[in-house]
Amino acid sequence: MSATYRQPGLVLTDRRFTVPLDHDDPAGETIELYAREAVASDKVGQNLPWLVYLQGGPGFGANRFVGKGAWFGRALKEFRVLLLDQRGTGHSSPANRQTLPLRGGPAEQADYLARFRADSIVRDCEAIRAQVTGGAPWTVLGQSFGGFCATTYLSLAPEGLAAALITGGLPSLDAHADDVYRAAYPRVERKVTAHYARYPQDVERARRIADHLLTHDVTLPNGYRLTVEAFQSLGILLGGSEGSHRLHFLLEHAFVRTPQGPELSDAFQEEVQGLLSYAPHPLYALVHEATYGQDERPTAWAAERVRAEFPQFDAAKSLAGDEPLLFTGETIHPWLFDCDPALRPLRETAELLAARTDWQPLYDPARLAANEVPVAAAVYHDDMYVDTAHSLRTARAIRGLRTWVTDEFEHDGVRAGGPRVLDRLLSLARDEA
């Protein structure tokens, strides 16, 4: 039964749907999807068009808004909004270290998770659209990985879309995971260099922490093994609008004096474990590289292999000389499944996914070239997470797509920019700007 409740100015309804695990076997096993319907309280009785929001990730449930912040308030001016927890996330049938053993061993778990990519998410949307809209097409707003899903939607089921709005999420149509990370490491280095230019005192702070981790075994309170590589991965913060400042404030209270000498402070460890733990979103680690799998080549831990081509990210080499420590970014490595207690039981499953060679194409270049759906995309200049050159190449390949290239925002512009980003995308899609 659906539950309806209120926040100031909003009426929210919990929606639950049953969809096939494998859409090619509609009579087979099913999973549950959860979504939250939202409508402005003064528009409850109106016949409004629908906007479905596809969250970034993969592996994250939809935003839990309180009130009408960010893009949400702008959307509610004219849409009913469906905040979908993509399969395996949020309140949808969960996929994590606790539930995956119900599938069987690692091989069965990997087969199950192979159905948690953008193609399945799009087919989920199509399976529930008739129940939500009565069959009418809806507008999709895709942030980051959600934009990858929107591009897949345009490839697989454009008839379901009234418009597609993409923010920080135009993928390459044909790049292998190796190509993605080969383009990513130089972008990450630029972000780290910019951070140190803003906060030069962090050069020595980061080196000191890295040196401590190279010479001490540190286990965080939740059981996470804090290695120097794990510490470097905090650079993922640098892709957001406030990330450089957050990293700076984290580093400035790293150490405390103890009778045994300097130690990493409890406050630092507590904050770091919250930033690094994959317990709330293990799918991100498990299927992240699989989002780039589209042919018979395995992804094979692409981020780890390609990192070796960029020796400046080697912490020990940096500390042996005078070079600043380089943080890393949105990359998944096999050592994560040793460090993180939420991932350790899934190491073999992750290895099988990395070795998989039967990935199906996620995009249809011919169909995109003939696209008739209004599409607008915000492309953030030097986006740390999604390569700008890849995005612009894809933009040229989708008929009628209009781009807004801006350096005003980072990857999280749809959140940090309030209503402005969505307003701009709607204007572009409607040929009003």
Are 390 and 260 found together in one domain? Answer: no
The pLDDT of residue 184 is 97
* The two structure tokens encoding residue 139: 């507008």
Are the C-beta atoms of residues 353 and 302 closer than 8 Å to each other?
A: no
Other beta carbons within 10 angstroms of residue 169's beta carbon come to 26
Above 60 in pLDDT, residue 227? yes
* 230-283 tens-digit pLDDT: 999 999 999 999 999 999 999 999 999 999 999 999 999 999 999 999 999 999
* 93-147 tens-digit pLDDT: 999 999 999 999 999 999 999 999 999 999 999 999 999 999 999 999 999 999 9
* 301-345 tens-digit pLDDT: 999 999 999 999 999 999 999 999 999 989 999 999 999 999 999
Are 92 and 122 found together in one domain? Answer: yes
Above 90 in pLDDT, residue 65? no
Are the C-beta atoms of residues 32 and 17 closer than 8 Å to each other?
A: yes
Host domain of residue 273: 177-355
What is the rounded average pLDDT of the residues 191-203?
98
Above 90 in pLDDT, residue 187? yes
Catalytic residue among 172, 390, 411, 412: 411
Are 24 and 60 found together in one domain? Answer: yes
Task: Supply the DSSP string of 376-392, one letter for each residue.
Answer: EEEEETT-SSS-HHHHH
Which of 355, 376, 408 is the C-terminal boundary of a domain? 355
The pLDDT of residue 69 is 80
The pLDDT of residue 143 is 97
User: 346 — phi, psi (to 5°)?
Assistant: -105, 15
* CA atoms within a 13 Å half-sphere pointing along the CA-CB vector of 45: 0
Residue 49: exposure state from Cβ atoms within 10 A (0-12, 13-18, ≥19): middle
Are 407 and 349 found together in one domain? Answer: no
Q: How does DSSP classify residue 84?
A: E
| Separation of alpha carbons 407 and 243, rounded Å | 16
Are 308 and 387 found together in one domain? Answer: no
Residue 172 bears catalytic tag: no
Are 157 and 203 found together in one domain? Answer: no
Helix (H, G, I), strand (E, B), or coil: what is residue 83? Answer: strand
Q: How does DSSP classify residue 101?
A: G
Q: Which helix (H) or strand (E) holds 317?
A: helix 315-320
Indicate if the alpha-carbon torsion angle 420, 422, 425, 431 is positive or negative: negative
Residue 111: exposure state from Cβ atoms within 10 A (0-12, 13-18, ≥19): middle
* pTM, entire model: 0.97
Q: Which residues, in sequence order, are bridge partners of residue 141? A: 53, 165
What angle is formed at CA 209 by the lines to CA 284 and CA 199, rounded to 5 degrees? 85
pLDDT band at 2 (very low <50, low <70, confident <90, very high): confident
* 280-295 tens-digit pLDDT: 999 999 999 999 999 8
Residues 6+ apart with CB under 8 A from 375: 154, 163, 164, 165, 166, 398, 400, 401, 402, 429
pLDDT band at 299 (very low <50, low <70, confident <90, very high): very high
Share of the chain above pLDDT 90, in %: 96
User: 327 — phi, psi (to 5°)?
Assistant: -80, 165
Helix (H, G, I), strand (E, B), or coil: what is residue 429? Answer: helix
User: 36 — phi, psi (to 5°)?
Assistant: -110, 120
The pLDDT of residue 418 is 87
Are 334 and 402 found together in one domain? Answer: no
The pLDDT of residue 58 is 95
Are 324 and 217 found together in one domain? Answer: yes
Which of 320, 337, 355 is the C-terminal boundary of a domain? 355
Residues 6+ apart with CB under 8 A from 331: 181, 184, 233, 303, 304, 307
* CA atoms within a 13 Å half-sphere pointing along the CA-CB vector of 140: 34
Q: Which residues of 78-108 are buried (b: 16+ CB within 10 A; e: fewer)?
A: ebbbbbbbbbbbbebbbbbbeebeebeebee
Q: Which residues of 209-246 are buried (b: 16+ CB within 10 A; e: fewer)?
A: bbebbeeeebebeeebbbbbbbbbbbbbbbbbeebbee
* The two structure tokens encoding residue 227: 């290695």
CATH of the domain at 107: 3.40.50.1820
Closest to 335 (Cα-Cα) out of 276, 274, 293, 280: 276
The pLDDT of residue 296 is 87
Catalytic residue among 120, 144, 172, 244: 144
Above 80 in pLDDT, residue 428? yes
Are 346 and 198 found together in one domain? Answer: yes
| Separation of alpha carbons 40 and 213, rounded Å | 50
User: 264 — phi, psi (to 5°)?
Assistant: -65, 130
The pLDDT of residue 68 is 83
| Separation of alpha carbons 244 and 201, rounded Å | 13
What angle is formed at CA 368 by the lines to CA 363 and CA 373, rounded to 5 degrees? 120
Residue 358 bears catalytic tag: yes
Share of the chain above pLDDT 70, in %: 100
Domain count, the chain: 2
* Residue type at 53 in one-letter notation: Y
Are 233 and 349 found together in one domain? Answer: yes
Are 349 and 417 found together in one domain? Answer: no
- Crossing angle of helices 243-251 and 266-276, in 10° steps, is 150
Above 60 in pLDDT, residue 1? no
* The two structure tokens encoding residue 57: 């990730």
Catalytic residue among 24, 25, 217, 358: 358
* The two structure tokens encoding residue 1: 């039964």
What is the rounded average pLDDT of the residues 44-68?
93
Which of 355, 386, 412 is the C-terminal boundary of a domain? 355
Above 60 in pLDDT, residue 203? yes
Residue 245 bears catalytic tag: no
Are 293 and 263 found together in one domain? Answer: yes
